Structure 1
Amino acid sequence: MAPWRLHPELLLAVAALFAASAAADYTPRDTASVCSPKRNYTDGSQYEINLDQLLHGLHDGAVGNGGFFETSRGIYPDKVYGQAMCYADCEWTKCQLCLQVAPSYVMIKGCPYSRQAAIMYDCCYQRYSDRKFSGHADLFGNGFDYIDGRSYADAMNETRWKLVTQLMAEAAGSALRFATGSQTYVDSHGNSQVMYGLVQCSRDLSATDCTDCLNNIAQASMIRNATIANYRRYGCYITYTPNAIDIRSSADLPQRRPKRRLVWTVCAAVTGSVVLLICISISVRLFLRHLERTPSPCRVYQEDDEAMENEFMKGTGPRQFRYRELAAATDNFSEDKKFGEGGFGSVYRGFLKDLRLEVAIKRVSKGSKQGRKEYASEVRVISRLRHRNLVQIVGWCHAREQLLLVYELMPNSSLDVHLHRADNVLWWPVRHKILLGIGSALLYLHEEWEQCVLHRDIKTSNVMLDASFNAKLGDFGLARLVDHDRGSHTTELAGTLGYMDPECTITGRSSTESDVYSFGVVLLEIACGRRPTAARPDGTLIHLAQRVSELYGQGRILDAADARLDGNFDPQEMERVLAVGLWCACHNRDLRPSIRQAINVLRLEVPLPDRIPPVGHAAGPLPMPDSDTGHSSSTSTAQQPI
């Protein structure tokens, strides 16, 4: 029989009892309230019932979701929407208590009978309304400011402003809408000082709304010469101080000691609870012994799976997850969490509680031989790469019937979604930043990593966008590693029609030049706002590069620019993007630039070549996109979140 072990779950349960005892004396400080003056509800009304359920649900949801949650209850006209958030520098246990006490406080003392209310406490805030408000930058004029300390050194004021603006940009670009950091400066006495800062937005806000909320504080409320400040708003928060800011994880155990006058009460509660816990732990132990005899969902039985797992474990970076962790993160892969379909599986949005991280989880069918092959390639290749313009893989999991890949979440989806939306225009400065990011990623893959990485499927649906619209190249399922002194890699046909080097359709040989061809097509698609291929009336295809080449030959290359931009672009940048796109997509691969040459021209560091080689016609007629060759990873340009 295995020796008895004290499980961490038991420690957490006992610790929770002590934490609960401290709640008896805790009352959240109402620092700022906004209540609706009319349209109130009455006792016993359906709205009151829905509100009561919602406020208690906000507590459980926020605790389980790392300090932020929003939900709704009921149906119109009694539907109520709610949101709760913990401030990141507040002790986690204290914030849990704030969320626990808050529901009764808001209904009895805070805003009784109000159909709309926003109440801010010292460690958390809660909002509810009979109107949907998620993602809207409202109520930001109300809040709480605490200011202390004085320093009249210009260096302090400059450092404070530099720190806050830097953290604002980082928070807006973070999936968790949160950033913390520090800056040093020399005070008026010549002593070195440190300024610590933290900024936070609610996770429902877009990067733009987050920035707007923080800017509102920075420009309207930040007091000159103050060395300590807290600026709390509904949806965002800025604080800075000369003292280090302790960010406690939700996984931290509470360290507080119960007050002396509560000792006897706590002892009585603990004594009875320990007896119950012993009974539960025995049952759990028996259940765990049963599980040890039962195959785990992520236990791999087949020899090839074991070999693949052993190889993955040799790498560094991504971790192996248990199936139940990923199932819990996605509500058991519910349809509500699904937000995309890839070439060989579905993609789900999830939240990993232990990491406090929002992720995208790709669920690949093990029944697909090609999907299985791409899964293995993805983990082997991308897990070893580190670059700001590459999607980072967080982890992986083998299940008996499926394969799971876990990525950092890209809140703005893929580039093709934004390029081809009818209701919104992606403006030129953003497009230019994105294409330079793609080029930087490809330069890293081709020349700057220890081996040359051939991506083999560069297209706009594989370019993901973070909250600040920074480009992240993803989907390495078709990628291959080759030595830098090796010119090409002969393999089966791979890629997506329209983006694929025509020579690859004949020879099957992938190379850095074929990746450069795909990059050129993406450049043209970004500049023109058009998909790579278009159908003629007779059903044949004409490539975008051919259309742009004709205009280039007529000296009218800027006429190829996306008409929706209405001329709002830098002409020199646009000309270079179109010209480099043609250069990369020329028919003769020996005349194409290296990715470094292309990037240098795009960055305006070197001039354009005197003459762009002709694009020419593809070798043989191109089939229509829905005519699958059986080897391409995808034959459409539909959204692929990963």
Structure 2
Amino acid sequence: MAFFISTTQLPFQKVLPLIIIILLLFVLLPYAHSIHFNFPRFEQSSKIDYKNDSFAANGAIELTRNTLQENITQSTGRAIYSAPVHIWDAKTRILTDFNTQFSFIITGILNGKDYYGDGFTFFLSPNRFTIPPGAGGGNLGIYSDNNSTENQLVAIEFDTFRNTGWDPPSLPRHVGININSRVSLNATALKPTSGNILVYKGDALVSYSASTKDLSVFLSMDVNGTSSGFGENPDLSWNVDLRDVLPEWVDVGFSASTGEGVELHQILSWEFNSTLEIREAGTGEQPNNKDGKKTGLIAGMAVCGAVLSAGIGGLVLFGLKRKRYRRRNEEGVAFDVEMNDVFERGTGPKRFSYRELLLATRNFSEDGKLGEGGFGGVYRGFLGEMNLDVAVKRVSRGSKQGKKEYVSEVKTISRLRHRNLVQLLGWCHERGELLLIYEFMPNGSLDSHLFHKKRLLGWAARYKIATGLASALLYLHEEWEQCVVHRDIKSSNVMLDSNFNAKLGDFGLARLVDHEHGLQTTVVAGTMGYLAPECVTTGKASKESDVYSFGVVALEIACGRRPVERKAEASKVMMVEWVWELYGRGLLLDGCGREAREGI
């Protein structure tokens, strides 16, 4: 909803009716019972209620007993979010959408037997639902032996032991959708299926659509260290109206159990999103809230008073802020138009949806963060449909310079094709996010090997990297249709593929110029230590200043040290000056690092 107000200054007596209308609109707006939480790791004190044998350890939820020093057979446990979730409203019959994503590991323990079990579930149950008697073994910590259909339970089960009588005979280890019963209405194999698999590791995405009533499950399993990624279509789904099977307020969480066969059940991370909009006030009270209506009335009056005060104060400042808002809005629209025009005109990189990248990077998990630049972070991702590892650059929100670099990078690198340049695979401009997708470089950046001892590089590898970088510069400066001045050549922008081939990346500062003209700029851009002296004094970048930066990287490769070492002796702080002095004294090879010198 948006409000547009005339720019004419209005006297207060004319503004007062407008304030009253706004207040009425606030009263009539839907009440939102939304919930969002994200646990990248777990602690015993987090907002999780641990039941029976479950507990938090080493940043994960252990759903059942997990040490061989105690009896881990016949163990049950449950971990539940501490607050109930409102999934539908009895008075209006409005139903919520929700989605949840979690990472898990199941570790089978043979323990003298040739089988293990039994599995875990993600479930929705009535608030304060207790673990019933006989919930161990194949009942997965939530069902009783009588398997009553009055359970009011919706569960996604990850079942590793086939129980005769209710588990699918053709799927001994499976993922299933259960409604009010331990019998799966729809199931798929828990992959991989071949051999005596002892460890299942993966991610699950469970979503529910209030409009279609589809409960869908997407799986991304780790096979031999490689994630399969989420597919475009769900691995299994079932059509169900949750209003028919669950109460208004539910608990959400995980349960697990072991029988005579045992295994460990770990939840590594968990994110949940739900939004319920109620069109009428006074509905959807939380369980056991006797004073809910009274509290709601007091809260409503307080909100109206606060809005009235804020509205009067806001109108005083409105005229001052309106001009600034209009200018920013015009800039934003112009930016969107420019980007769409630039991107859609391109022929190489493709457009990705924000959802694809959210799934690929596991919601931009910090565990998958590859690095942090001046204008945002870079995250590792896996595109299941393309079976491809990627690096996703995420520009920081609100960064004007980051937006400029985003457009500049796509304008430049999307048109370039060379074996020694990082390939841009795609882009995404949605929900205020600016994202660039590159090929993944498994050996990281050059500086990580030179200075962080990620892997020692011999002279042959160093020479190969230097010549690869030189080849990239020759292409940019002379061989492409226009001259590309990179302006930020440094070892951290030189990436290494699986064969240690150098690939130049990060074209955020790059500029296109005609071959016969130089680049004219008065803004110093680049990184100190790599900048040519004339760039610092005049602000002008050129092919020659790029070559100077290349020379600094070449010296880094040969010397094994950074361009500026502030803690070194005074004569050695600046690498270029130090090497120049050695050259003058005929001692040039004294500047070589030990690893490089061995191969010369």
TM-score range, shorter chain: 0.3 to 0.5
- Indicate the structure with greater helix content: 1
Computing the radius of gyration from Cα coordinates, the structure with the larger value is: 2
- Indicate the structure with greater strand content: 2
| TM-score computed with the length of structure 2 as normaliser | 0.48
